[in-house]
Amino acid sequence: MRCCTTLWLAQAAIALAPNSPAPKRTVQKAATLDPPLTRIAPPSAALRRLPGGGTSPTVWSEFADLAREVDARFEGGVANLGQGFPNWAPPQFVKDGLRRAASEESAGGHQYARSAGHPPLTSVLARRYGVHFSRDVDPFDEVAVTVGATQALLVALIATLDKGSEVILPEPFFDLYVGQVALAGGVTKPAPMTVDADGEWRLSEKTLRAAITPRSRILIVNSPHNPTGKVFSREELETVARVVRDENRNRLPGDELLVIADEVYKYVCHGDEQHIHFASLPDMDDITLTVSSAGKTFSATGWQIGWIVGPRHLIQPCQALLPYLQFCAPTPMQQALADCLDEADSEYEGEPSYYAWLAKSYRRKRRVLAEALTAACVEPLPSQGGYFVVGDVSNLLELMPDEYRDGKVAADWAFCRWLATEHGVVAIPSSPFFTDEPTRPLVRFAFCKSDEILGVAAARLKALSDSCRVK
């Protein structure tokens, strides 16, 4: 999961105009109580835009808390296949890069960087994306460096949306999109994908066209896709591009349907499909903001360095926002990544590059998890990219005690509570990734974990399915 820092989110919230009147505040005389009352501030206008009014726990906070709560009950702790972060350190060359940056003697290596990005990093990004896009990318006018990809997405949305603008989300979708669109003043419009006979998620051209209205301003294309692991093929992306192109023929300049390409898992493709940069397709470069980061690639999700790459007329509004959100991303981290992105092209662990080794490593881990799920009577859907396998847990629902079926949450959510509490395996329900409750109980399992953790999870799931057969 991508994490936002408290500071820039608070600043962004303050900068946004309220959509609804603030709740009335009643001034009361101070009272002396034992114990004292806990003060709870009424949610702000920005918080009220969020799902649950900004006061309800998210799926991430609930299952992170649950994992900590039940950890001591199980020998060796819980097997946490929930949030998408590796449970190992970055590779040695990445840690060495950070050590070099932290040991820099010049003052400039430790002070504020340029708000839009440290020039050594933006230069590397411009050169690399120039190859991806088959054009020259200006490191100063067409790149913006952010505090992680989550901030990059929010900045891109704030920079492009007007109040009431619609954002089209192929569904299922990463749940944070909904809150970010709301913070930026927009409205989400789902374009539901369906699962074909082979278990592959498909976005039909008819569905996408039906989701577009005159108020549509942004289409988010997430490939490799979270939560499904889908990697959109070139043919599928060309279909999306054709729909966007057709829509923009009927629009005036400045009112085009834009695309945000969320490509944070671009180097984690472990199936037959290879990653295609959406902005590299004909006519798409001029209307696309490409978002990515280093955390997933280098197993360093806590470094929180992300970026946006795109045409000057779309990047400059993003750059204008950055000083008001965080002023700059950490300079030593940016310097380290400027070295690591290119160093990763070198041979690594017997593979042509670190990037090739990464894909091979996750290909094996995905296979291990998919086989474990199959053995446990969970139907794994195909995954070709990212950290996750989505599984249908219908065959195990009969085991779930009635106490978990309170009717307050979807079946997949109740199943995940039971799985963590009584069986020591943490996973994430898929219902938060849908507008309405999904038609079957789907659960997202992360395989960006050590072989030991995957083995423990496999054993516990297998024991669970064995008890189901006994019954």
Indicate left, alpha or beta for 126 from its phi (over 0: left) and psi (-120 to 50: alpha).
alpha
Q: Of 54-58, 414-418, 441-445, which gets the smallest average pLDDT?
A: 54-58
| Res. 335: pLDDT tops 60 | yes
pLDDT range class, residue 53, cuts 50, 70, 90: confident
Alpha carbons 163 and 315: distance in angstroms, whole number: 20
pLDDT of residue 16: 46
| Res. 469: pLDDT tops 60 | no
| Res. 15: pLDDT tops 60 | no
- Average per-residue pLDDT in the chain? 91
pLDDT of residue 423: 95
pLDDT digits (tens, 9 = 90+) for 314-331: 999 999 999 999 899 999
Q: Of 99-113, 217-231, 303-317, which gets the smallest average pLDDT?
A: 99-113
Q: Which residue has the higher pLDDT, 132 or 39?
A: 132
Alpha carbons 390 and 407: distance in angstroms, whole number: 23
| Res. 25: pLDDT tops 50 | no
State yes or no: cis peptide before 35, omega within 30 of 0: yes
pLDDT digits (tens, 9 = 90+) for 392-416: 999 999 999 999 988 889 999 999 9
pLDDT of residue 408: 84
pLDDT of residue 107: 80
pLDDT digits (tens, 9 = 90+) for 222-242: 999 999 999 999 999 999 999
The percent helix, strand, coil of the chain (3-state, each to 5) is: 45, 15, 45
Average pLDDT over residues 77-102: 95
Alpha carbons 394 and 404: distance in angstroms, whole number: 15
pLDDT of residue 122: 98
pLDDT of residue 17: 45
pLDDT of residue 40: 64
Average pLDDT over residues 237-256: 97
Alpha carbons 308 and 321: distance in angstroms, whole number: 13
- Is there a contact between 159 and 321 (Cβ–Cβ < 8 Å)? yes
pLDDT range class, residue 14, cuts 50, 70, 90: very low
| Res. 105: pLDDT tops 50 | yes
The residues, any chain, with a CB within 8 Å of residue 419's CB and separated by 6 or more, are 425, 426, 427, 443, 464
Alpha carbons 460 and 399: distance in angstroms, whole number: 14
pLDDT of residue 199: 92
Is the pTM higher than 0.75? The answer reads yes
Percent of all residues in the chain with a pLDDT value above 90, rounded to a whole number: 82
pLDDT of residue 36: 53
Average pLDDT over residues 78-84: 94
Residue type, 408: K
pLDDT digits (tens, 9 = 90+) for 342-377: 999 999 999 999 999 999 999 999 999 999 999 999
pLDDT of residue 430: 97
The residues, any chain, with a CB within 8 Å of residue 213's CB and separated by 6 or more, are 166, 189
pLDDT of residue 9: 44
pLDDT of residue 29: 47
Alpha carbons 295 and 94: distance in angstroms, whole number: 11
To the nearest 10°, report the CA torsion of 197, 202, 203, 206: -30
pLDDT range class, residue 31, cuts 50, 70, 90: very low
pLDDT digits (tens, 9 = 90+) for 183-216: 999 999 999 999 999 999 999 999 999 999 999 9
The residues, any chain, with a CB within 8 Å of residue 322's CB and separated by 6 or more, are 115, 116, 144, 146, 155, 328
Percent of all residues in the chain with a pLDDT value above 70, rounded to a whole number: 90
| Res. 248: pLDDT tops 60 | yes
Q: Of 74-83, 311-320, 391-400, 459-468, which gets the smallest average pLDDT?
A: 459-468
Residue given tokens 């060359």 in the structure block: 93
